[in-house]
Amino acid sequence: MYAQENKKVIDGVAAVVGSRIILKSEIEASLENLVRQGQMENTLKDMCKVFEDLLLEKLLVHQAEIDSVVVTDEEVDANIERRIQMIVQQIGSVQKLEEFYKKSIIEIKEEMSELIKDQMTAEKMQRKITEKIEVTPSEILEYFNSIPPDSLPIVNAEVEFSQIVLYPKIRKEAKQEAIDKLKRLKERIERGSSFASMAVLYSEDPGSAKNGGEYRGIKRGQFVKEFEAVAFNLRKGEISDPFETEYGFHIVQLLARRGEELDLRHILIKPKIDDEDLEETSRKLDSIRTLIVEGVINFETAAERFSMDDNTRYNRGLVVNPYTLDPAWEIGNLERDVFTVIQNLKPGQISEPVFFRKPDGKEGFRIIRLNKRTEAHKINLQDDYNKIKQLALMDKQNKVLRNWIEKKLQSTYVRLNHNYYNCTFTNSWIKNLAQNE
């Protein structure tokens, strides 16, 4: 049911949906963020799209409260931490992030918390509504045939590929050099030098070095287990002895503990890898390639036996697109060095060992096999059945969701500010307008 005639909309409130409100500033901030990311332009149509997306989010969150669909604080915190780490990797450091927003990392996380919780709750509620929806082969065919021939979407050029990755074996001498350097830094800090200054000068962690090695609000599960095993057993102010993780060697100082949440500083030193180590790795990988080319072992078995990349090793070398969970990659979404290798391969061919460096600075070699290449084309059932299936499923889910929205709007209090009546919405948020004025 809708608002009674004597109800008033608070100034600045764009809409009320059930127990949730949408502020005009919330719509504007969301649109501004999308414009900054290049996903939208600052038009009335875009503003209306953002407004309706927020209306749907609030309706889903309101219903989630009724249906006891809950997202835990731990899930929200983990999601925020992943987002922060991705942004930090892109922007360069926590300090740059704080300078950009003119707020501390704690303040940024606190501001994100409610927004992220609403988003996650809405997504969870939507999954509950559509989780049992499936499409039959006849529905997939019917969906495809419903698309006018001149409106069939273009599938961009795609490739599928596999890889075998080797990293240089780190010499004992190099490990000991890293340990000794950290011991000297620890001694300097204990004699009065600033841990933060030592981190800025010597730490090889690009995510924290410029911020004095500092990480705040750390909870279990956010760092590798070897790091957490040390950090969560320190006393306030205590500095650990050097210890090893997959990233190198560390020392950690505990700054504060709030239950199971830590603030800390750390210094990372990576054991040095010399040219001889890299050359030996390249030679070993070339030998593996020779065994595959000569038919002594197949690529999949070699990947399982030799590859040092866990993400693909247990998938027999196949590289899956993390955004689509599909082995097909659009050419434009490939890493530049992968694209450079693949463009010179024919399906079934295997590259020579290629040097690469991960974002965290870790160096290694890989061989890449091009499994399949598909040129840009109009979508068709023979080549793109799985894509059409996904499109048909999404279409059916959207219809179920729209029906759910229409049903819930009959029993949910909704009030819209007059300033937004000029929007054309997909759903009937402002039907029975006379009752809503």
CATH number, span 155-169+274-378? 3.10.50.40
What is the average per-residue pLDDT within 423-432? 76
Residue 278: band (very low, low, confident or very high) from pLDDT cuts 50, 70, 90? very high
Tens digits of per-residue pLDDT, 172-183? Answer: 999 999 999 999
Class for the domain spanning 172-269: alpha beta
Q: In what order do the strands lie in the sheet with 248-258?
A: 214-219, 261-269, 248-258, 243-245
Helix, strand or coil, per DSSP, at residue 22: strand
Phi, psi of 214 (to 5 degrees): -90, 135
Query: What's the burial of 367, exposed, middle or buried (CB within 10 Å: 0-12/13-18/19+)?
Result: buried
What is the average per-residue pLDDT within 116-141? 94
**91 has pLDDT over 80:** no
- Whole-angstrom Cα Rg for the chain: 27
Residue 33: band (very low, low, confident or very high) from pLDDT cuts 50, 70, 90? confident
Helix (H) or strand (E) holding 154, with range, is strand 154-155
**409 has pLDDT over 60:** yes
CA distance 168 to 312: 18
Residue 260 vs residue 297, higher pLDDT: 297
What is the average per-residue pLDDT within 139-149? 95
What is the average per-residue pLDDT within 22-28? 88
Q: What is the pLDDT of residue 435?
A: 42
* Every domain of the chain and the residues it spans: 13-135+383-436, 155-169+274-378, 172-269
The residues near 305 (Cβ < 8 Å, ≥ 6 apart) are 297
* Of 336, 303, 334, residue with least CA distance to 318: 303
Q: Are 388 and 162 in contact (CB under 8 A)?
A: no
* Of 120, 125, 113, 2, residue with least CA distance to 60: 125
Q: What is the pLDDT of residue 431?
A: 58
Q: What is the pLDDT of residue 420?
A: 62
What is the average per-residue pLDDT within 303-319? 93
Domain covering 13-135+383-436, topology: Triger factor/SurA peptide-binding fold (1.10.4030)
Reading the block at residue 53, the tokens are: 């997306």
Residue 88 vs residue 191, higher pLDDT: 191
Residue 89: band (very low, low, confident or very high) from pLDDT cuts 50, 70, 90? low
**103 has pLDDT over 90:** no
Average pLDDT, the chain: 88
- Please check whether the two domains, 155-169+274-378 and 172-269, share a CATH topology: yes
Q: What is the DSSP string of 265-331?
A: EEEEEPPP--HHHHHHHHHHHHHHHHHHHTTSS-HHHHHHHH---HHHHTTTTB--BTTTTBS-EEG
Reading the block at residue 277, the tokens are: 């180590």
Judge if pTM exceeds 0.85.
no
Residue 208 vs residue 385, higher pLDDT: 385
